Structure 1
Amino acid sequence: MVGTTPLIKSRQVSIIGVPFNGGQPQKGVEKGPLRLVDSGLAEQLQELGWEVGHESNENIINELQPSSDPDVMGLKQPKFVSAVTQNVAHQIHERAKQGKFVLTLGGDHSVALATVSGVFGVYPDACLIWVDAHADINTPEATESGNIHGCPLSFLMGLSTDHPDFQWVKPILKANRLVYIGLRDLDAFEKKTIKSLGIQAFTMHHVDKYGIGKVVDMALDHVNPNRELPIHLSFDVDALDPSVAPSTGTPVRGGLTFREGHYICEAIAETGLLVAADIMEVNPALEDEVAVAQTIQVGCSLARCCLGETLL
């Protein structure tokens, strides 16, 4: 519903940087959060009327890296991923509990273990809109790569409960409170899981068929039919076509256009129900500096749209 009273009434936003690459093999994604901030994101949000706080977490994350971190149940760097995400989850929980909008800058998408745990700990009736080329719902048994950035939703939904390093992650996300937008690179296990659990998923086929406006409406109708529940948006920039956001670790052709990506953020912000947003997988070490600057600019503009920037 357009024009509703925003759930976040404080006009305070907490930018949580998570300079972390442990959930996948490519270096550089840990540089994404600081590059977004250094490009002026905090000042841009202040111009929109927000009081901005920023926690970079760089020193904390470096201190949490274990001296030894062997594979466990096929997952790579599980101790490092677990330690960082558990620490950041507490931080996000505290900022959300203070009534602040939480804007988390990744880092790879394993960080969603922290963001969803922290946000849903404060807003247990929230819904999650996951904008991504990938479903990220592999289990330790199913993942072929062992990279945890492809697995966070399986832990958050209780599909993976036996891993010794992630016992702290609670199954707080129900299938009817999750919706995907932008999927286009799925493996057989993920397709089967999405169908068997009845998770609503809008692939790029649906975007092509219905248009992004209708897709966002249908997504909200499914997870938030009465437009009354808090919304957490987790946006992986690889949901965008590589021509729009080239500097990301797992680009897939045929993604969202610049305007489609921004429309999602604008429309969800317009509901007044958005309480938290993640901008994930910006990797400044990939591509040339022109492509990096383009991707950083897009990441900042998506964040601004989440916090109320409109075209008019």
Structure 2
Amino acid sequence: MGMAGRRRIVVVGAPSSAGSYAAGQEQAPRVLRERGIVERLRERGHDVTDGGDGPLQVWAPDAAHPLAQNVGQVIASVTDVDARVGEALDDGAHVLVLGGSCLVALGVMSALTARAPDAGLVYMDRHSDLNTPETTTDGALDWMGLAHLLDVPGIVRELRDALRTTPVLTPDRVHLFGVDPAATTGGERRIRDTLGLSVTTGTQVAADPRAAAESALAAYGPGPLAVHLDVDVLDFTDAPLAEDTGGRNSGPALAEAAEALAVLCRDPRFRVLSVGELNPTRSVGESRAIDRFVDALARAL
């Protein structure tokens, strides 16, 4: 398949906010479908199969596990993503995973590395998600996803053990793309520096999206790639989409992020794009925001 060619794409939904800070993200797969993501991909000539949704999970406080809330539901969601992404990969398709929380990346990479141990991940996120229950008291597992993929000390073993390999990823096969250094905890900085993870900041992405994406891609070997997009990487004022409203007037605008995303997803090694942390209630006052986002996804793929 050429970079601009027709693709077979399976769309997988993961309507879960179980590992998040609050309810809301579980609505994203439904809303993205209602706004026409499947139809827009088909209009661009792709052969698209809607693989349906995994378990619907809505966040609730978990007093029994305050530092790793709703871990049982998270495992059920991640395991479902793993199985359905794996099935699509075995069928030779590309995959678009609609979250839900950022924890969809765990299921994606568990499936992809089980089939290609040299697979890599471009993690497009304002945050590096390297926290553990030892570095934050928030208890939101979606702030800890990459830590579990890298098997850093202090993670939740029950969640790590639900993944197919340990570690799922090594530091040379991860690139943090779009990070805001001011949004990084002290614990995350220590983990990032200890592992030597490569980083492109959100400021760099905004300044030259294409060059930033090409530079990130240049560091990977020939193995397949997954791209994970947490919508909080975006300037919230330009595109009010994310559960986290803290990225106001900082980070790339949607058009800039979309340009970088297109470069990443058109690389010949690309296999899976996962989307997380979109809370549809955030854009009630800006009705075009979700439509613009759907257009950006369709163009990127």
Name the SS for the 2:55 alignment partner. Answer: helix
Q: Is the 8 A contact 2:125 2:176 kept in 1?
A: yes
Task: Structure 1 unaligned segments of length 5 or more: list them.
Answer: 308-312
Partner of 1:237: 231
Shift of 1:177: 0.7
**Residue 21, structure 1, aligned to residue 14, structure 2:** no
Shift of 1:134: 0.6
**Residue 263, structure 1, aligned to residue 259, structure 2:** yes
Aligned residues: 294
Shift of 1:147: 0.1
| CA-to-aligned-CA distance 1:47-68 (integer Å, 9 cap, x gap) | 11111111332xx514x88999
Partner of 1:310: none
Task: Structure 2 unaligned segments of length 5 or more: list them.
Answer: none
Name the SS for the 1:303 alignment partner. Answer: helix
Q: Is the 8 A contact 2:25 2:279 kept in 1?
A: yes
Partner of 2:299: 305
| Partners of 2:59 and 2:132 in 1: CA distance | 23
Partner of 1:211: 208
Given the alignment, which residue of 105, 110, 114 partners 1:112? Answer: 105
Shift of 1:123: 2.9
The residue identity in structure 2 corresponding to 1:220 is L
Higher mean displacement: 244-253 or 88-97: 244-253
Given the alignment, which residue of 277, 283, 291 partners 1:281? Answer: 277
The residue identity in structure 1 corresponding to 2:121 is L
Partner of 1:46: 42
CA spacing shift, 1:86–1:70, aligned 2, 3 Å = farther
Q: Is the 8 A contact 1:182 1:255 kept in 2?
A: yes
Q: Is the 8 A contact 2:20 2:59 kept in 1?
A: no
Shift of 1:199: 0.5
| Partners of 1:19 and 1:152 in 2: CA distance | 17
Matches within 5 A, 1:168-247: 168-169=162-163, 170=165, 171-184=167-180, 185-207=183-205, 211-224=208-221, 228-247=222-241
Matches within 5 A, 1:16-165: 16-57=12-53, 60-62=54-56, 71-72=64-65, 74-160=67-153, 163-165=157-159
Name the SS for the 1:189 alignment partner. Answer: helix
Q: Is the 8 A contact 1:269 1:305 kept in 2?
A: no
TM-score normalised to structure 1 length? 0.86
TM-score normalised to structure 2 length? 0.89
| Partners of 2:299 and 2:280 in 1: CA distance | 22
Shift of 1:71: 4.0
CA spacing shift, 1:123–1:48, aligned 2, 3 Å = farther
| Partners of 2:199 and 2:58 in 1: CA distance | 35
Q: Is the 8 A contact 1:73 1:140 kept in 2?
A: no
Name the SS for the 2:98 alignment partner. Answer: strand
Name the SS for the 1:82 alignment partner. Answer: helix
CA spacing shift, 1:137–1:66, aligned 2, 3 Å = closer
Name the SS for the 2:288 alignment partner. Answer: helix
Shift of 1:195: 1.3
Higher mean displacement: 32-41 or 155-164: 155-164
| Partners of 1:68 and 1:207 in 2: CA distance | 35
CA spacing shift, 1:77–1:150, aligned 2, 3 Å = same
Shift of 1:158: 1.3
| Partners of 1:106 and 1:127 in 2: CA distance | 20
CA spacing shift, 1:211–1:240, aligned 2, 3 Å = same
Name the SS for the 1:286 alignment partner. Answer: helix
Higher mean displacement: 235-244 or 114-123: 114-123
| CA-to-aligned-CA distance 1:140-197 (integer Å, 9 cap, x gap) | 2222211000011111111156523441223111101111111111111111211111
RMSD over aligned Cα atoms = 2.5
Partner of 1:272: 268
| Partners of 1:229 and 1:68 in 2: CA distance | 40
Q: Is the 8 A contact 2:23 2:60 kept in 1?
A: no
Q: Is the 8 A contact 1:75 1:146 kept in 2?
A: yes
CA spacing shift, 1:174–1:295, aligned 2, 3 Å = farther
The residue identity in structure 2 corresponding to 1:167 is D
